[in-house]
Structure 1
Amino acid sequence: MKKRSYLFVPAHSDKMIEKGLSSEADAVIFDLEDAVALSEKNIARAKLLHQLKTEKCHPRPFIRVNSTESEYFEEDVRTFAALDNIGMMLPKAETKGDIARLETLLEQEGVMNKPILPLIETAKGVWNAAEIASASPKVGALAFGAVDFSLDTNIALTDSGEELLYARSQLVIASRVAGIEAPIDTVYTNFKNSEGFLREARQSKGLGFQGKLLIHPAQIALASEIFTPKEEEVEKAKRVIDAFREAEEKGIAAIEVDGEMVDYPVIRQAKKIVSSYDA
């Protein structure tokens, strides 16, 4: 399944939860953390549980629980632990110990295989990204939260995104070293600025990300546009694969296609393009 668009859905609103359940995003993240006021935490948790138990769920749902330092963390985890096929996003993940604490709670509830999506939002989290990515087989990917990261590090966010290059690259490299999927990039907060979103998404794709966190349904199509290979890219990749297969049968491992040199690394990239298009 494609993993280009991860849409945050505030869990305090029945209407928004219902829309999230039928969203066309590749994944939805029902948010019990930043989107819910402190006075509404317990109410939102109960609302979300009722909806997830009674309504047909999205194919790839996650719940963003409150952070391990929050008084709401344990109750969030225990409330949703037993729901099948629903992953958990852990905000402000900073060490492998945070992942272990979440796993321990899940295991106490008899749950052994729930997907975990750590959200890296602090300097400590970026610094320890490799150990977080390797902390558990349940961690399938990392996600980046640039807004909190910028607050933590006193970074001033700009349109160019240059100030985030190091942090983004750290997550990409840590994910590769840990052998997990490519990370999911941060939200683009101005949901009315399509050009700005597209520019940032192109940059994060170029750095090695596979998708974006989203704050508005209007961003779903934009994420798909950037993170889905174009038909011409796929056709070219297939031509390269076919030509190389013929050459390899003749004992040749480096050829020219459309004026470009093709060898094994190029073939692996071509196969990746075709695979991601067909997923």
Structure 2
Amino acid sequence: MNVAPLPRSLLFAPAVRPDLMVKAAASGADALIFDLEDSVPPAAKAEARRALTAALTAHIGPPVYVRINHPAADDAAADIAALAGERLAGVFLPKAERPEEVQYVDGLLRAAEARLGRPDGGLCLVPMIETCLGLRHAYDLARAAPRVGGACLSSGEEGDFMVDLGGRWTPEGEALLYARGRLACESRAAGIEWLIDGVFMALDDEPALRRDARTARNMGYVAKMAIHPRQIAAIHDAFSPTAAEIDHAAGLVDAMRAAEAGGRGAVRYRGMMVDYANLKRAQKILAQAERGKTA
């Protein structure tokens, strides 16, 4: 079974800053997000779209996603009309709350694919959960269009979700435990594997970033957004398998292959009974380890 590794890190760069979009490609992040939404002032949206098209056309680095504006702002169609480039992977839909929003963007992306000569459904769409209403509808958002390939929680200390919740951020993350767990369960129920945790805003507190990222990983997330290149290493450490996990996974795969050769679908391995569910997890761990070697 060939399991493609999922990006562990996604670095934001404002589309209104061509210099930062260029620098982002050398950051070491697994993927990039060129932003047309909150990091771009309203008066600079048109300028940012022109810069985005140029940057996407010239980009030869990691896959790029574009955070578009919410359809309610009447900018989404213009944002998607600015998409270009071979390394374009998809879009992030901010403040997603209702399936109709996903379906509207899905239609825009279908037209963009025809214009760009891309296969139908080839561009990924990731709803961003930034409100309590969005969290309530997370399963329906994930199922609203086949191109939905991930789900993201706005988990920043003073981000939109925390503001809507009225909670108080702490290093232990109590206010976000329910939201992280709820989104993980809803997304998994909808068949979504790529669970992305939001940004960490305290640039100078790496220990807290590492704790925050570990919490997200322990709750089922496989990636985290970054707002500065200095955060990439800590994110990769948190979302990459440890040496012990890799050794355990490799041994389990070997044990299951030997069991299959003997006509069995389960085997005792290092004191526990394992079967095909364990094999699937082990293969994912090894795929993520391979990502770390080639990143």
Is TM-score (shorter-chain normalized) higher than 0.5?
yes
User: Greater shift after overlay, 210-219 or 224-233?
Assistant: 224-233
Q: 1:190 aligns with which of 189, 202, 209?
A: 202
Is the aligned partner of 1:93 residue 2:96? yes
Q: Distance in 1 between matches of 2:259 and 2:109?
A: 52
Is the aligned partner of 1:231 residue 2:235? no
Is the aligned partner of 1:107 residue 2:116? no
**What TM-score results when the alignment is normalised by the length of structure 1?**
0.91
User: Which amino acid is 1:103 matched to?
Assistant: D
Q: Distance in 2 between matches of 1:252 and 1:173?
A: 27
Residue 166 of structure 1 and its aligned partner are, at CA, apart by 1.3
SS at match of 1:69: helix
* Contact 2:59 2:85 (C-alpha < 8 Å) held by counterparts: no
Is the aligned partner of 1:71 residue 2:74? yes
* Contact 1:6 1:26 (C-alpha < 8 Å) held by counterparts: yes
* Contact 1:240 1:262 (C-alpha < 8 Å) held by counterparts: no
User: Which amino acid is 2:284 matched to?
Assistant: K
CA displacement, residues 142-195 of structure 1 (integer Å, 9 cap, x when unaligned):
111121011112122221111111111122112211112231001111121111
* Contact 2:59 2:87 (C-alpha < 8 Å) held by counterparts: no
Residue 271 of structure 1 and its aligned partner are, at CA, apart by 3.0
Q: Distance in 2 between matches of 1:220 and 1:122?
A: 26
Q: CA RMSD in A?
A: 2.0
User: Which amino acid is 1:130 matched to?
Assistant: Y
Partner of 2:52: 48
* Contact 1:247 1:255 (C-alpha < 8 Å) held by counterparts: no
Partner of 2:216: 204
**What TM-score results when the alignment is normalised by the length of structure 2?**
0.86
Q: Distance in 2 between matches of 1:236 and 1:107?
A: 42
Partner of 1:263: 274
Percent identity for Structure 1 against Structure 2: 34
SS at match of 1:212: strand
- Alignment map for 1:70-219 (pairs within 5 Å): 70-80=73-83, 83-86=85-88, 87-109=90-112, 110=114, 112-113=120-121, 114-146=123-155, 147-219=159-231
Q: How many residues align?
A: 275
User: Which amino acid is 1:137 matched to?
Assistant: P
Structure 2, unaligned runs of 5 or more: none
* Contact 2:6 2:222 (C-alpha < 8 Å) held by counterparts: no
Residue 270 of structure 1 and its aligned partner are, at CA, apart by 2.6
Residue 206 of structure 1 and its aligned partner are, at CA, apart by 0.6
* Contact 2:214 2:238 (C-alpha < 8 Å) held by counterparts: yes
Q: Distance in 1 between matches of 2:160 and 2:181?
A: 17
Structure 1, unaligned runs of 5 or more: none
SS at match of 2:150: coil
Q: Distance in 2 between matches of 1:6 and 1:211?
A: 8
User: Which amino acid is 1:50 matched to?
Assistant: A
Q: Distance in 1 between matches of 2:269 and 2:25?
A: 48
* Contact 1:10 1:16 (C-alpha < 8 Å) held by counterparts: yes
